Amino acid sequence: MSSFRIICVLSLFGLVFAAFRIEPAHEIEIIGNKFFNSSSGNQFFIRGVAYQRTRKPGEIYDAEIETSYVDSLANPSMCLKDLEFLKELGINTVRVYQVDPTKNHDVCMNAFSSHGIYVLVDLSEPQKSIIQTRPSWDVDLFKRYTDVVDSMHGFTNVLGFIAGNEVLNKVENSDSAAFVKASVRDVKNYIRDKKYRRIPVGYASADDTLTRLESANFFVCSDNNTESAVVDFYALNMFEWCGYSSYATSGYKERTIEFSQSPVPVFFSEYGCNAVRPRPFTEIDSIYGPIMSQVWSGAVLYEFFQNENRFGLVDENAVGHIIKLEDYNIVKLRLVESIPRSIHRDEMPGSYSFSLKCPAISSSWNSSHILPPTPDDGICDCLQASLSCVVAPYTRVNFHELIREVCSKTDCREIMTHGSTGVYGKYSGCSPMTRASYALNKYFIDNHKKPASCDFGNRAALTTSFGALGFRKTHIADGRTCEEILASAPDEMENKSESIAPNPEEVMSTNVDHLKSAAQRPGMWDLLMVSVFIISFMYLAT
């Protein structure tokens, strides 16, 4: 080979390397309805894959100290092994559905960042999420969401937080949208108040025919002074393109037209119909083609690991070895061939502002633009301190079932929510346990504070509450007193603060019966001894 030909070949390799070189993950910013690399100014397109291990069927783990999900980003031996396959695949983003905020993610997140891989982080987890059939936005959920933000905000390759995934998927549960939007508002405000970098917060929607457009409009509308509740991006789980479909016949054309005027970035948060196997992934050419790339900011393929639903690109055997499946190589080739047409941020208009009217209640939409209030631990702590009949300690209780049962016998409007009308009870933002205790106490008062009415199958117990003065001087975790909270809290709370406890003998007699019952349950003896000691000390002290 002549020296001239060698130089030509080396030059060609240099051009290819330059085109596909991996740069560290700089922060991604939003200008108008597009993502941009904050360093280069180039438009950013998501070339992603859903990345979430699941526990194997029948897998044994300690639920007391382990999560029900697997957080691969907190396990370097897992994520670094996976990283080699993710790099080869040619993706620049992973979506993780659950992370454990108590764990350290430095090694994995920094390794992903050094290879130009961004992370979309869902804020919820299976036991703490907004549930479509009984939606709420309460202190427990808010803490879960902010814990995740606290643990992940420091990584520049966090592309965004997802505040909900397909929470509403039909007209009948579209009232849950108000609760998701409230979570977006409060997480965005939390990020601002903590002076973290401005990490985008958005929502991943179901592709439901009836609610698709109303949902998209709802999450970007700003009625009732809800500008802070507008999502920074909106995503769609999209499985309409199956096999060798086309842009015109799959539904992609209609969706692109519908979302062409979106004021915020839009992308597919899941895609990859598996009705045809192996999946040909012909939709990738369209997603990153000249038409769709003008509207959509990329897509997240579902999914990396093989599970029972058979959407995986790789399989992981019993000893942890990764095995590429046929779909893996197909996706890899499709992504290499699909380079979207991008623009530079300097080509965008100079200023952006929009104000859209929220969709009205109709046959295809049932969520009010009036959102639930921000959950306040102080109000809930003071409420709990004022109650005399509460959920029994050391007892396994399904709080939602207990609330439903008790509230069929007493007025529980103060802990109820109605996303369709925008009416939210004064204490609806409290935890399920506090709401259940409120209901029990309300029933107890309705029945003239008779000790027998504080039972509900040993799920309720009497406790000594503070007198009115003691209640108001009670300090809560954030340093405020209930007296300070009462100044801005609902009027009814002060009425609840009056001493409503029965006499100590009634409390002791009734709770001893509860303890006897508890002693019959396996594993309760140690807790029983602690309870007896605490109660004895409390009464000896008085």
Whether 10 is covered by a domain: the verdict is no
290 with 386, same domain: the answer is no
- Residue 84 appears among annotated catalytic residues: no
Query: What residues pair up with 301 in beta bridges, in sequence order?
Result: 49, 271
Q: Verify that 420 and 339 share a domain, yes or no.
A: no
Q: Which residues contact 38 (CB under 8 A, 6 or more apart)?
A: 26, 27, 28, 29
Q: Residue 336 is part of a domain; what is its CATH number?
A: 3.20.20.80
Given this model, what pLDDT does residue 488 score? 65
**Phi/psi at 96 (5° precision):** -110, 130
Query: Is 200 within the bounds of a domain?
Result: yes
What is the span of the domain harbouring residue 498? 377-541
For position 478, what pLDDT does the model report?
76
- The active-site residue, picked from 23, 64, 66, 166, is 166
Report yes or no on 60 lying in a domain.
Answer: no
226 contacts: CB under 8 Å, gap ≥ 6: 181, 185, 369, 371
Q: Are residues 164 and 280 in the same domain?
A: yes
Which residue of the set 270, 283, 303, 414 is catalytic? 270
Residue 2 lies inside a defined structural domain of this protein: no
Please tell me whether residues 96 and 204 are part of one structural domain.
yes
Give the Cα separation of 86 and 328 in Å (integer). 10
Q: What is the pTM of this model?
A: 0.87
Please identify, among 299, 332, 347, the residue that sits at the C-terminal boundary of a domain. Answer: 347
34 belongs to a structural domain:
yes
Would residue 296 count as lying in a domain? yes
324 and 386 in a single domain? The answer is no
**Residue 166 annotated in active site:** yes
Q: How many residues does the chain have?
A: 542
Q: What is the pLDDT of residue 467?
A: 54
279 and 327 housed in the same domain:
yes
* 285 and 403 co-located in one domain: no
Q: What is the pLDDT of residue 465?
A: 62
- C-alpha of 175 from chain center: 17
Same domain, 88 and 176: yes
Assess whether 500 and 398 both reside in one domain.
Answer: yes
Domains identified in the chain, total number = 2
Does the residue 61 lie in any domain? no
The per-residue pLDDT for 489 is 59
Where is the domain boundary, 295, 325, 347?
347
pLDDT of 145: 99
Both 331 and 421 in one domain: the answer is: no
Q: Is 275 found in the same domain as 177?
A: yes
Q: What is the CATH number for 506?
A: 1.20.58.1040
Cβ neighbour number for residue 373 with a 10 Å cutoff: 13
Residue 515 resides in a domain: yes
The last residue of one of the domains, among 309, 330, 347, is 347
Same structural domain for residues 316 and 174? yes
* Backbone phi and psi for residue 133, each to the nearest 5 degrees, phi listed first: -85, -20
Angle between helices 177-193 and 212-220 (to 10 degrees): 30
Instruction: Please give the average pLDDT of every successive group of 10 residues along the chain, which has 542 residues.
Output: 44 40 84 97 99 87 87 98 98 99 98 99 97 97 99 99 98 98 98 98 98 97 84 98 98 98 98 98 99 99 97 95 98 97 93 86 96 95 92 94 98 97 96 98 97 96 70 72 70 40 44 47 44 40 43
